Amino acid sequence: MSAPEVYKFGGASVKDAEAIRKVASQLKQHVGKPLVVVISAMGKTTNALEALILAHYHDPAEMSNHYQKLQEFHNSIAAALLGDQKDDLMTELHDLWVELNWILEEDPHPDYNYHYDQVIVFGELASTKIVSAYLKAQNVDHDWLDARSFIITDSDYREARILWDKTEEAVDKILKPVLASGKIALTQGFIGSTVYLESSTLGREGSDYTAAVLAHCLDASSVTFWKDVPGIMTGDPKAFEDVTRLEEITYREALEMTYYGAKVIHPKTIKPLQNKNIPLFVRSFDHPSHPGTKISTSSAKKLPPIVVVETDQALIQIATKDFSFVAEGHLSEIFSVVSSLRIKVNSMRNTAMSFLLCVRNEPPKLEKLQAVLSENFDVKIEDGLELITIRHANESMLEKMHRGRTIIFEERFGDTDQFIVRMEG
């Protein structure tokens, strides 16, 4: 068997019947080649499931509303795709809805993260069932595989870590034979299972990571993310004019971009690929013949300025109460609280009298942080901020970013400029 390829289709690429038809026509061209296809939940289904889970805890009446809508959404796409051939698929979807309903009829589990993962997986299960049934109707030879049989993780629900040895073993046993038989292997992104056979997930947008994990285990020749953008851009087209597509970047650049908050790929994606030198392509599913962006070991291209904006940030100012310097002992105390609350620090800085942390504005976590640290420190929190990072800035770009913005602080290190600014409007 030649080295397989891995394709990932995100939520936008399977958001409705028309999108799924496109996926199928693309996959038709690959029949007979070893290909793994990783698919997300359809459109905004994961958000809808999150609302359902919250309602399960707090608002049972709303819960049945969400549950209904979710069913209708999927059932109507299934009907649009398969017409009068839809019966088998409807039975399979019905089984999923019944299984979900069993969970919802019970009281929600006291461990929210655990409960979340048991429910959230239905998005990926339903979307892949629908895509699979449509591929079958189109005579695209493939096997539907439950990712939970080979993506094996620890029990850190909602942010589970891959157990690599177990995953590799299971991929060898379950996935490889399908590819060797010349069939496309169709599976879900984002979801996995613990060794106790409980569902687990890899974190929001985790399908990217699933694709990378499988590529690593299979020594794939490449991975392609099919997206609703032309490739990786120099900035968010919704926020900036004049953004252009990056033709190629290094793994390192991609890591830097995701670290600073670029949403194009899940931050954990790069490492498993870089470790085996597997190139990653980000391409447009609307224009499959366009080249997109290539991410690999080296790139001959000189990069233009790249702008990454993280919105909804908060700045935490921590000062000693007795006018003493913020010293190493204080930092270790601060960080033990930060890490126990799983707060991700996006930027930090220390001055004589205070220590500054820029983090995502998650009020429940920040209130806890403030409560705990207030015993020994004065803690002030300002929200409504943005963290803007520019890689490879030039003068005109820096000037442009300063214009019309209230900058709270800025910093430069190597090829990276960062600004914390007050959000406009």
Positions that interact with Mg ion (CB under 5 A): 10-11, 40
Q: How far is the CB of 84 from Mg ion (least distance, A)?
A: 32
Q: Which does 206 bind (CB under 5 to 8 A by kind): Mg ion, ligand ASP, none?
A: ligand ASP
Q: How far is the CB of 73 from ligand ASP (least distance, A)?
A: 14
- Rounded distance between C-alpha atoms, residue 356 and residue 362, angstroms: 16
Instruction: For residue 216, count other CB atoms closer than 10 A to its CB.
Output: 23
| Sign, CA torsion 115/119/121/123 | negative
Residues 6 or more apart whose CB falls under 8 angstroms from that of 76 comprise: none
Q: How far is CA 409 from the centre of its chain?
A: 29
CB contact at 8 A, 235 and 151: no
Q: How far is the CB of 301 from ligand ASP (least distance, A)?
A: 28
Q: How far is the CB of 312 from Mg ion (least distance, A)?
A: 19
- Rounded distance between C-alpha atoms, residue 57 and residue 3, angstroms: 46
Task: Using the minimum distance from each CB to ligand ASP, give the nearer residue, 36 or 41.
Answer: 41
Q: Which does 190 bind (CB under 5 to 8 A by kind): ligand ASP, Mg ion, none?
A: ligand ASP
Task: Using the minimum distance from each CB to ligand ASP, give the nearer residue, 123 or 305.
Answer: 123
Structure tokens at 389: 């990072």
Going by the DSSP 8-state scheme, the letter that residue 297 receives in this structure is S
Q: Which pairing describes strands 416-422 and 377-391: parallel, antiparallel, or unpaired?
A: antiparallel
Instruction: For residue 12, count other CB atoms closer than 10 A to its CB.
Output: 17
CB-based contacts of 401-407 (< 8 A; 24+ apart in sequence):
401/307
- Rounded distance between C-alpha atoms, residue 103 and residue 106, angstroms: 6
Task: Using the minimum distance from each CB to ligand ASP, give the nearer residue, 10 or 231.
Answer: 10
Task: Using the minimum distance from each CB to ligand ASP, give the nearer residue, 192 or 206.
Answer: 206
Going by the DSSP 8-state scheme, the letter that residue 406 receives in this structure is -
- Rounded distance between C-alpha atoms, residue 402 and residue 389, angstroms: 12
Task: Using the minimum distance from each CB to ligand ASP, give the nearer residue, 126 or 369.
Answer: 126
Q: Which does 253 bind (CB under 5 to 8 A by kind): ligand ASP, Mg ion, none?
A: none
Q: How far is the CB of 47 from ligand ASP (least distance, A)?
A: 7
Q: How far is the CB of 360 from ligand ASP (least distance, A)?
A: 16
Q: Which does 5 bind (CB under 5 to 8 A by kind): Mg ion, ligand ASP, none?
A: none
Task: Using the minimum distance from each CB to ligand ASP, give the nearer residue, 225 or 355.
Answer: 225
Q: How far is the CB of 369 from ligand ASP (least distance, A)?
A: 25
Task: Using the minimum distance from each CB to ligand ASP, give the nearer residue, 199 or 207.
Answer: 207
First-to-last CA distance in the chain? 57
Binding site for ligand ASP (CB under 6 A): 10-11, 40-41, 46, 123, 189-190, 204-207
Report helix, strand or coil for 5: strand
